[in-house]
A and B are shown apart, each in its own frame.
Chain A
């Protein structure tokens, strides 16, 4: 049994194409449902942000003034500033599709996009 064969490159390319194709179709599926962002502080909903207002704003919450969020005009929201060590929350970037989420676990903050229609449809299990 060889370590590597030439036709392996073909298999690798097929996997890459499937992955990229999946990504492309997912991001280009028309998305006309209205979404909103929910901000949780230690499993407690502290703020709901309507993403379709078309206004740009920068804000933070009283519990964690050092963590700053940014909402852009086209309804995308992200963490832009945080005092946590790893900055995973900021590296997540802008989120805007229902189901996406960004979290800053050191600060106990979870920001997630939910669909307006699916409200209360699922119980969400939030593990610690």
Chain B
């Protein structure tokens, strides 16, 4: 387990104590929730497809994945899903939970397979796309018989754009995050 942890902890391993990393995880979860609330307050995009959004809260999940280890990223994704279930209803919760877990799993696999050969940008893009695809699968399962395939390319391309935006934002925010530690 320690060996695996090392792979995902790029940099701060050993510096952080248990309490420190727990507090940081809690802060990141709070940041993720606030980001998703802010995102809901933004005016709707002039695109007529439900489900197209930036996924700003993915910034917090990605940060946790890159710098605190995959377990913290899973914790944030799952708690975020539960929070959505409590505040926005069961279906929204299942969508958020499933999308989040699929997204983190894909990012973990990419980091595990490619290690240093992959860039943050691509990890983020695949995370966003797999988040969309996870939600897409849940929608197909829940709303049986709905013809959703027309949305698939839109989800793919919007995931691409969202991934580029969130990873760029993460890069911009990173100096501020580093001062936290």
Contact = CB atoms under 8 A, between A and B. Distances in A.
Interface residues of B, number: 32
Contacts, number: 83
B156 A18 contact: yes
Interface string B99-126: 0000000000000000010111110010
Contacts of B120: 1-4
A4 B153 contact: no
Interface in A76-128: 86, 88, 91-93, 97-100, 102, 121-125, 127
8 contacts: A1-B116, A4-B119, A18-B156, A22-B153, A26-B152, A86-B44, A91-B47, A123-B145
B160 A1 contact: no
B172 to A, nearest CB: 11
A12 interface: yes
Question: Which interface residue of B91, B144, B145, B153 has the most chain A CB atoms within 10 A?
Answer: B153
B119 A122 contact: no
B46 interface: yes
Contacts of B149: 26, 99
Contacts of A127: 91
Question: Which interface residue of B48, B148, B167 has the most chain A CB atoms within 10 A?
Answer: B48
Contact of B122 (A11, A26, A124, A125): A11
A91 B46 contact: yes
Interface residues of A, number: 32
B146 interface: yes
Nearest to B47: A91
Contact of B48 (A1, A11, A92): A92
Closest 10 CB pairs of A and B: A99-B147, A122-B145, A92-B48, A23-B153, A19-B153, A19-B156, A22-B153, A19-B157, A5-B119, A91-B48
A124 B145 contact: yes
A74 to B, nearest CB: 18
Interface of A is mostly: loop
A15 B143 contact: no
Interface of A: 1-5, 8, 11-12, 15-16, 18-20, 22-23, 26, 86, 88, 91-93, 97-100, 102, 121-125, 127
B171 interface: yes
Question: Which interface residue of B119, B146, B160, B171 has the most chain A CB atoms within 10 A?
Answer: B119
A122 B160 contact: no
B129 interface: yes
